[in-house]
Amino acid sequence: MKYVDGFVLVVSKKRVKAYQKMAQMAGKVWKKHGALAYFECMGDDLNPDMCGMKALMFPKMAKLKKGETVWFSFIMYKSRKHRDLVNAKVMKDPLMNANDWKDKPMPFDMKRFAYAGFRAIVEA
């Protein structure tokens, strides 16, 4: 079964292009070092009709403010061991340590950023 790193983050709508640029570079780096897939997904239907079912919606969970959008992102690997190997290579990649990014603020709110690794249980 596959392994997935998942992220939920908040990006100011004014910073979407900057985040997209960073994410495109990151996707290339992760894929170069063996990630199976890399997705950056900007919120679109953030308050869907749940047919009466109660659920915590992403905007409330992320404490979304006016002028912001929530993103769900994920990277897919063969296994947790594969994830660890890929991430170790990614962190050593020169693009991840380029001066272009040094001392610049992240284009997303680090205080409302969530990350975790997930073992795929069902794959259809």
* Best CA proximity match to 28, nearest among 98, 93, 110: 93
Structural domain total, the chain: 1
**Range of lowest pLDDT (18-27, 51-60, 96-105):** 96-105
Mean pLDDT of the chain: 93
Three-state DSSP at 76 gives: strand
Question: Where does the pLDDT of residue 106 fall: very low under 50, low under 70, confident under 90, or very high at 90 and above?
Answer: confident
Q: What is the pLDDT of residue 115?
A: 95
Question: b/e per residue, 38-54, with b = 16+ CB within 10 A?
Answer: bebeebeeeeeeeeeee
Q: Which neighbouring-strand residues pair with 3?
A: 77, 119
Residue 8 to residue 108: CA distance in whole angstroms: 10
**Domain boundaries, position 108:** 3-44+60-119
Q: Residue 39: inside a domain, yes or no? A: yes
